[in-house]
Amino acid sequence: METTVPARKKITFSGIQPTGVFTLGNYLGAVKNWGPLQDEYRCIYSIVDLHAITVRQDAKALREQALRCYALVMAAGIDPEKSILFYQSHVPAHAELSWALGCHTQFGELSRMTQFKDKSAKHADNINAGLFTYPVLMAADILLYQTDLVPVGDDQKQHVELARDIAGRFNGVYGKTFVVPEPYIAKAGARIKSLTDPTVKMSKSDPNPNSFITILDPPETILKKCKRAVTDSDMQVRYGEGKDGINNLMTIYSVITGKAFDAIEAEFEGKGYGDFKTAVGEAVAEELRPVQEKFRQLMEAPDYLKECYTRGAEQAAALAERTLAKVYKKLGFVAKG
Ligand code: TYM
């Protein structure tokens, strides 16, 4: 009798830092894309709290934000029955593999990371070693789960490429140990820009709260922020060069409504920016309404959340420890008795 081995479901891994409430950029560039992968892939998602401490945090605020972040990711469509959703600090293998991979990563490679350069310019008084080795920990996150696909926004592409380089190098020296992962970057929405300076990405660490929309902003705040968004003096809703502000709003509107740019241009032909900005604000508020509602329900069920993240960590640890044991063996460590 012929026996068929079922094909292994491909694995997706991604993470989000629990620093502040996440923004429309995090949502459109990454988290919104995680849910639809749940049926086709074995999805593993993490609230990456170890990454968050490369910048000084207030312990109480971090703990609260991390709980909210977990509930928000669930509210945005991650079902803990279908995906593994866990806190990075609950699975020690992340820090352990990070050390082993760090010994296979060059100083020069880490020095070239643009996020390190940006962050060390922003936090000149705290250029700590963790900030420098952050991409190694991220590589460990990804490689521990034999990940095939990493859905991220455009700003994380360089880090995923480094993870690929580290995996390839390790496999070259020790024999096939890791799957070499592919970045998965949405065609639209992978780089949502600041509303007040559309030449830079929308970021929750921006000191100007009008520059970003958070997932929990009430509808009137969303509308106000969209109306105030920086545009240009051309007064035509048209995608093009020198129109960063309008390009950004069109991208947001397009990702949410599914309308193509030419359809949006036709919709607002002869209308002013005011009408367009109102439409964008309303579309965003409508998109976020069910997420906010689900979030509020989840925050009223702390025992359920705890049950979910406890189970998530157990499931993640079981997979992670398998890879770590393989790595330790290849490196020549004596096996535990
Ligand atoms: P973080 O927490 O900064 O952001 C989470 C996700 O949101 C995306 N993103 C954006 N996408 C579009 N437009 C924007 N303005 C925008 N801002 C953020 C990010 O690209 C990211 O996908 N290092 C990662 C977290 C991480 C991770 C990992 C990701 C740690 N380990 C392993 C994937 C795999 C970070 O700081 O993301």
Report the nearest-CA residue for atom 26 of ligand 1.
15
Q: What is the pLDDT of residues 157-197, one digit of tens each?
A: 999 999 999 999 999 999 999 999 999 999 889 999 999 99
Question: Residue 30 C-alpha to ligand 1 middle, in angstroms?
Answer: 7
Instruction: Look up 201 and say whether it is catalytic.
Output: yes
Of 155, 194, 211, 214, best ligand 1 pocket probe by most atoms within 8 Å of the beta carbon: 155
* pLDDT score recorded for residue 122: 87
Average pLDDT over residues 72-94: 98
Burial of 117 per CB tally in 10 Å (0-12, 13-18, 19+): exposed
Give the 3-state secondary structure of residue 248: helix
Atom of ligand 1 nearest to the CA of 204: 17
Of 10, 82, 157, 204, which residue is the catalytic one? 204
- For the CA of 27, the closest atom of ligand 1 is 7
Whether 336 is catalytic: no
Mean pLDDT estimate for the chain? 96
Catalytic residue among 32, 193, 201, 243: 201
% of the chain residues with pLDDT over 70: 98
Q: Whose CA is nearest to atom 20 of ligand 1?
A: 153
pLDDT > 90 fraction of the chain, expressed in percent and rounded: 93
Tell the residue nearest (CA) to atom 6 of ligand 1: 26
Give the pocket of ligand 1 (CB within 6 Å).
Answer: 13-17, 25-26, 29-30, 48, 51, 138, 141-142, 150, 152-153, 155-156, 190-192, 201-202
Strand order in the sheet with 149-151: 84-87, 42-47, 11-16, 149-151, 182-184
Mean pLDDT, to the nearest integer, of 62-77?
98
Written as six digits, the tokens of 38 are: 């749940």
On the question of pLDDT at 1 being above 60, the answer is: no
The predicted pLDDT at position 8 comes to 82
Angle among Cα 177, 134, 143 to the nearest 5 degrees reads 20
Identify which of 73, 156, 254 to mutate to test ligand 1's pocket (most ligand atoms within 8 A of the CB).
Answer: 156
* Closest residue by Cα to residue 22 from 78, 84, 71: 71
Question: CA triplet 39, 44, 48: central angle to 5 degrees?
Answer: 145
Query: Does residue 297 register a pLDDT over 80?
Result: yes
Pairing of β 182-184 and β 42-47: unpaired
Please check the confidence at residue 129 and state whether its pLDDT lies above 70. yes
For residue 336, what pLDDT is reported?
A: 87
pLDDT tens track for 93-123: 999 999 999 999 999 999 999 999 999 998 8
* Gap from CA of 27 to ligand 1 centroid (Å): 10
CA-proximal residue: ligand 1, atom 33 (nearest) = 14
State yes or no: is 204 an active-site residue.
yes
Query: What CA–CA distance (Å, rounded) separates 178 from 144?
Result: 8
pLDDT at 294: 98
* pLDDT at 2 (0 to 100): 55
Sign (positive or negative) of CA dihedral 60, 303, 13, 292? negative
Query: Token digits for 72?
Result: 């928000």
Tens of pLDDT, residue by residue over 238-259, are 999 999 999 999 999 999 999 9
